[in-house]
């Protein structure tokens, strides 16, 4: 067991290459990295809220943060800005995301306002660094994932207590034909 003192811990990601577990602390503006084989555990503060992170095939991390989509340079311990699709909406932050089978980084935003409105957006960040809004009207986007054969994409809206299932075209990263089911919180 690993005692981690996150304020709002999210998004565990296992690195097969590093044999390490990553996890973000949204409110703590940090991420943790743990190597089970050595017992080494470190917390890295980045200076902004991180909603989700993922490993890059070229090394390093990509993050969806309060400051937008960024690369994390672990050597200089700095954020490298890529895109900030919510720059004109300062009450929004990224919450959760995942990487699809073609290496596209998907991440959703949510409002930090007290009167939570369903104004979140699910974005797709492509390897060419273009950003595409794919789904709007989300309360709290969570649990983004795909079926084993990558033909279905799932997006959970925690606020609405709903899991959406979309037909997914993996080659183009397109979502169509939504169906949904409610769930109990």
Number of domains in the chain: 2
Between 123 and 179, residue with greater pLDDT: 123
Q: Is residue 99 located within the same domain as residue 49?
A: no
Show the 3-state SS of 24-76: EECCCCEEEEEECCCCEEEEEECCCCEEEEEECCCCCEEEEECCEEEEEECCC
Confidence of residue 2 (pLDDT cuts 50, 70, 90): low
Range of the domain at 148: 85-185
Q: Is residue 129 located within the same domain as residue 144?
A: yes
Confidence of residue 185 (pLDDT cuts 50, 70, 90): very low
Q: Is residue 53 located within the same domain as residue 125?
A: no
Q: Is residue 65 located within the same domain as residue 128?
A: no
Q: Is residue 177 located within the same domain as residue 93?
A: yes
Beta-carbon contacts of 75 under 8 Å, excluding residues fewer than 6 positions away, are: none
Q: Is residue 99 located within the same domain as residue 168?
A: yes
Can you tell me the distance from the alpha carbon of 31 to that of 28, in angstroms, rounded to the nearest whole number? Answer: 8
Q: Is residue 36 located within the same domain as residue 76?
A: yes
**CA torsion, ordered 155, 181, 118, 45, to nearest 10 deg:** -40
- Rounded to the nearest integer, the mean pLDDT of the chain is 89
Residue that finishes a domain, picked among 40, 68, 83:
83
Model confidence over 118-177: pLDDT tens digits? 999 999 999 999 999 999 999 999 989 999 999 999 999 999 889 999 999 999 999 998
Q: Is residue 70 located within the same domain as residue 93?
A: no
pLDDT of residue 144: 94
Q: Is residue 133 located within the same domain as residue 53?
A: no
Can you tell me the distance from the alpha carbon of 136 to that of 133, in angstroms, rounded to the nearest whole number? Answer: 7
Can you tell me the distance from the alpha carbon of 36 to that of 52, in angstroms, rounded to the nearest whole number? Answer: 21
Q: Provide the whole-model pTM.
A: 0.89
Q: Is residue 77 located within the same domain as residue 99?
A: no
Residue that finishes a domain, picked among 25, 50, 83:
83
Q: Is residue 77 located within the same domain as residue 90?
A: no
CB 122 within 8 A of CB 106: yes
Confidence of residue 43 (pLDDT cuts 50, 70, 90): very high
Q: Is residue 104 located within the same domain as residue 182?
A: yes
């Amino acid at each position: 067991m690993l005692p981690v003192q996150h304020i709002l811990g999210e998004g565990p990601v296992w690195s097969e290459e590093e044999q390490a577990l990553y996890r973000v602390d949204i409110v703590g503006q940090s991420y943790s990295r743990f190597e089970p084989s050595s017992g080494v555990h470190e917390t890295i503060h980045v200076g902004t809220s991180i909603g989700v992170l993922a490993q890059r095939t070229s090394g390093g991390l990509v993050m969806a943060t309060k400051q937008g989509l960024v690369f994390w340079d672990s050597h200089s311990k700095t954020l490298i800005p890529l895109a900030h699709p919510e720059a004109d909406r300062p009450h929004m932050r990224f919450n959760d995301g995942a990487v699809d089978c073609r290496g596209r980084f998907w991440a959703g935003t949510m409002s930090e306002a007290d009167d939570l409105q369903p104004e979140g957006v699910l974005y797709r960040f492509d390897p060419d660094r273009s950003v595409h809004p794919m789904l709007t009207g989300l309360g709290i986007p969570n649990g983004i994932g795909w079926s084993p054969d990558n033909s279905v994409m799932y997006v959970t809206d925690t606020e609405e207590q709903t899991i959406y299932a979309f037909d997914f075209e993996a080659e183009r990263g397109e979502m169509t034909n939504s169906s949904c089911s409610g769930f109990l919180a």
